Chain A
Amino acid sequence: MLFNSPVFIALFLPLAWCGYRLCALLGTQIAKIWLIIASLCFYAWWNTSFTTLLCGSILFNYFIGLLIIRLQSYRFWQSFVLISGVTLNLLVLCFYKYLFSILQALRGAGLDVPFIIPDVAFFLGIPFVTLLHFPLRIADITLPLGISFFTFTQIGYLVDCKGNAVKDKQFPDYALFVTFFPHLIAGPILYHREMIPQFTNPATYRFNFDNVVLGLAIFLLGLAKKVVIADYFAVIANTTFSHVDHLSLLQAWSGTLSFTLQIYFDFSGYSEMAMGLALLFNLRFPANFDSPFKSTSIIEFWQRWHMTLTRYLTNYLYNPMALWIRRRRVARGKNISHHALTTVEGFGALVAFPTIITMMLAGIWHGAGLQYLVFGTLHGLYLTINHAWRIFRSKTARKAPHAIVQRFKTAGNIILTITAVIVANVFFRAVSVNDSLLILHSMLGMNELYGYNAFDAPPGLIEQWLVQDNRIHYIHNPYLSPAEIANIFSIVLTFLFIWTMPNILQIFSPYTPSLSIAQTPPSAFLRKCPSFILGIIIGLIAILGILNLTNNFIPFIYFKF
């Protein structure tokens, strides 16, 4: 079920919310159970068979967690159980996410590789009917919705169990922590320690009108971002990325920028909808999105984009890896002080290596394609260069320039950061590395500057051409078409909107809608803006969001991860 579908908004959400309020009157445990059932129904709506997988995963991790806590005084066995639990979680994730891509690639290379055992496949939720059609095709394997998110959430829980950070061991709390529908499919990735205190607090189950209004406002703002802006750019981006073989410079940039804006508003919209939904149930999520296109460096970008994934990777991947490297260096008698970072060897070992490896893994977390590895590696390199710049640049360059120069410098930094992100996004969106290179080729102006406008053909005409001789005819148009002008105009306008408008965390900062606060405090203008006027503006945007509900029906980008 999608957050932007009529069935979710008109049926599921009102039912889940009203049921929750009624159950909360009867008792907190009943309310929790209601929310768990509602969340499982939400998940089962997409595919009932995978609900077994989700429930199995929850039970497995809950008992592994209990075992880890029990083995507190047996460090070896505790580590053994933790490693086994994490490995099993990762194996299931890899099974769905990577195994079939790898097998298919191997078969493509002419190797005779075996397929899975049917019983295992059935247990894990692959519809039985597909097993009758051997050899199994990659198209038959459906990625369980949100598997990356609920697996990561639970691995984090297991690690926290070992770190003695888990106090509450009640199963309903744990089950609700994993299944709570606003974050189940696409995050944010939550920590046990930030949600359980809320679940156990009786105040959570009391009716709070302010939170309901706030939640509704944030949810509808997120909806408007998704259905009005993201879905508009999705159409342009989809057209561009499905015709990569012959793009003009203008089309390539227009398509890539459109995708960049699509994913920006798609993810921003999703994160806000999730935050708003949690607030409707009197719960607060950590912030997941904080105007990343206002970042002046790629390091800052990752502190503002998919923030819960960044902190997860930092805490559970980068930090352990960096710690391991430091210990090894200490064991070998090497320097690990700040001075060591200023040497190329020290920087390479202590910063570049863990950064690049972390980002490469973050890249392939998105999918099995090589393009995701390139995406992650690029971001790893960007971060490394950014860190190197901070460490190695001359002292004179660190001096604060004149205010006007500083403004230009900030603008330049923002543009440089966004350009780097855009280039990486080409790999993120394209279906292969080859397609990505073709687009980058066009973006560098290796084809025409502008003028090929097969996409602007009247609807249905391209299909007719395809029917006629199975290929698209490109029409040379020496002028910019109205559609191209409209694209440029909308892209410029949207970037101006991003750079000038406050985000949800800033707008609602007096009401603390999230567990985190905005990195940039709200402007004086926003602080002085009357709440009533703000309410009217957001009310109007909310109407726009609801009215566009059935517009295109494009799923959230992060739903497929």
Chain B
Amino acid sequence: MTQSYETVPKMQRFSIGFLGTFIIGFGAVWIWVASNFIVFMDRGYAMWAAKMQIAHNCTMGRLAILGDSRPMADIIPPLVGAGVVNLAFGGVTAVENYIFAKQILNCSNLPKAVILSLTPVSFKKIGKLVDQAAYNGLLTFSDLEDIRNHTREMNYGPYDLDFKQDIELRVKEVGYATRFPPYYFSQVKDAFISPHAWENKEVFDYTSKMYGWFWDFMPGNPFGHSHAEETGWDDFTPFPFSDYYLHQLLALFESKHIPVYFVAMPYNEDSFQIMKPEFIEAYTAYINSVVKQYPGTHILGPLFSSIPWDKCYDSYHLNPQGARMYSERLRQLLNSSHVEGGPYIADPEAIGNVNW
């Protein structure tokens, strides 16, 4: 290229303006995004953040509840007893619970016991949920690397990817780990159009105050009397990937001498009635076979039970009234089974904050 005498300084001025704006501007956005998640992420994140803070501050109390969206919605810690925390996350599987349990067990004051509740469906889920957990900051890049390595050893699972997919995934995970703004910009835009920083703050505070419980669903019952997915199953075989991490999770607690109580959340009565006996038998056999391998792990209550429809929100989750009813039922169960850390007595002060 031939450049005239006049264009060279012009180009320098352009370069300073362009690069200066781009580097400073993008850097400022990056810093803002990385330090203000609670301002722009959706309210689901606010609940995640509150739970992650409980784990980070090591305020687990006597009994920690781990699991997926069902215990997350169905168990109100203050109604179960003082010193109970609900650390279950929506949409997660044994994988995320294992990683989260590792974080919890770094604390000096460990819970006396753990309630673990995973839905049969969660043993047949792959990939996407781990992505959500990484997106929200629950899983770090090294956690994800661990998952990948274990998966490779097993030669099975969602991270059994080809070279190209592997690279693409790692690029994305580095993006999550560094909170690279493009991955979060759609949330920033939503927050700009409809600001919800204040609401997020409320959700965060409320979840913290309720020891990890926040009922995060829309009001009403949009799906009618729909059935749980398991009602269509004739058998039960977990994904080896999920099975592996369930064992890892239980072994982890076993190594710390923390008893684990496997609790199954109730199904709505319609689903319960049409659940196939072959599936019930296979699932029960599977859970029994797993529990048998860990002396510190027990099954608490029935693996299959039902609750009336008016206490349900959808095919899986209870509404706040249902959660209240179930939490009280669970407290009785804990006390009658003499679970470690008991007796469990409802916390009247905290209950006063529940908006029924």
Contacts and interface: CB of A to CB of B under 8 A. Distances in A.
Interface in B1-24: 1, 3, 7-8, 10-11, 13-22
B167 interface: yes
A11 interface: yes
B25 A210 contact: no
A520 interface: no
A213 B14 contact: yes
B10 A510 contact: yes
B21 A213 contact: no
B172 A548 contact: no
B168 interface: yes
B21 A510 contact: no
A361 B13 CA distance: 47
A460 to B, nearest CB: 10
A255 to B, nearest CB: 23
A534 B14 contact: yes
Given A211-B1, A511-B7, A6 B17 contact: no
Interface stretch (B41-49, B101-109, B181-189, B341-349): B181-189
A548 B185 contact: yes
B146 to A, nearest CB: 22
Contacts of B175: 6, 10
B182 A549 contact: yes
A284 B10 contact: no
A295 B18 CA distance: 30
B164 interface: yes
A386 to B, nearest CB: 36
B10 A543 contact: no
B167 A11 contact: yes
A213 B15 contact: yes
Interface in A5-32: 5-7, 10-11
Contacts of A532: 13-14, 16-17
Contact of A6 (B7, B10, B15, B172): B172
A542 interface: yes
Contact of A550 (B3, B7, B11, B182): B182
Nearest to A550: B182
A550 B183 contact: yes
A539 B20 contact: yes
Contact of B18 (A208, A209, A213, A551): A213
Contacts of A208: 1
Contacts of B20: 535-536, 539
Given A531-B10, A539-B19, A547 B185 contact: yes
A11 B170 CA distance: 11
A11 B21 CA distance: 23
B128 to A, nearest CB: 16
B21 A551 contact: no
Contacts of A413: none
B26 interface: yes
Given A211-B1, A511-B11, A217 B171 contact: no
A44 to B, nearest CB: 9
Contacts of A120: none
B182 to A, nearest CB: 4
A512 B1 contact: yes
Residue from A533, A535, A540, A549 with most neighbouring chain B CB atoms (10 Å): A535
Nearest to A211: B1
A175 B18 CA distance: 34
Interface string A522-556: 00000000111111101110110011111100000
State the majority secondary structure of interface residues on A. Answer: helix
B13 A531 contact: yes
A52 B48 CA distance: 49
A324 interface: no
Contacts, number: 105
A145 to B, nearest CB: 14
Nearest to A6: B171
B181 A542 contact: no
A550 B185 contact: yes
Contacts of A284: 1
A547 B18 contact: no
Interface residues of B, number: 32
Contacts of B26: 543, 546
A45 interface: yes
A535 B182 contact: no
Residue from A6, A11, A548 with most neighbouring chain B CB atoms (10 Å): A6
Contacts of B18: 213, 216-217, 535-536, 538-539, 542
Contacts of A551: 185-186
Nearest to A507: B14
Interface in A275-289: 284
Contacts of B7: 510-511
A217 B3 CA distance: 18
A535 B16 contact: yes
A530 B11 CA distance: 11
Contacts of A11: 167, 171
B29 interface: yes
A530 B13 CA distance: 8
Interface in B164-219: 164, 167-168, 171-172, 174-175, 181-183, 185-186, 188
B13 A535 contact: yes
B230 to A, nearest CB: 19
Contacts of A533: 17
A539 B27 CA distance: 12
B182 A536 contact: no
A531 B14 contact: yes
Contact of B22 (A45, A211, A214, A543): A543
Contacts of B164: 45
Contacts of B8: 210
A173 B172 CA distance: 35
B11 A539 contact: no
Contacts of A534: 14, 17
Interface string B220-254: 00000000000000000000000000000000000
Interface in A494-514: 510-512
Contacts of B185: 547-551
A213 B13 contact: no
Nearest to B7: A510
B1 A6 contact: no
A213 to B, nearest CB: 4
A475 B183 CA distance: 35
Contacts of A213: 11, 14-15, 18-19
10 contacts: A6-B172, A6-B175, A510-B11, A532-B13, A536-B18, A539-B18, A539-B19, A539-B21, A540-B21, A546-B182
Q: Which 9 A-B pairs have the closest CB atoms?
A: A535-B17, A539-B21, A535-B18, A549-B182, A531-B14, A531-B13, A532-B17, A539-B22, A535-B14
Interface of B: 1, 3, 7-8, 10-11, 13-22, 25-26, 29, 164, 167-168, 171-172, 174-175, 181-183, 185-186, 188
Given A10-B171, A539-B20, 12 more contacts: A6-B182, A7-B171, A208-B1, A213-B11, A213-B18, A217-B18, A511-B3, A539-B25, A540-B21, A543-B26, A546-B182, A549-B185
Interface of A: 5-7, 10-11, 45, 208-211, 213-214, 216-217, 220, 284, 510-512, 530-536, 538-540, 542-543, 546-551
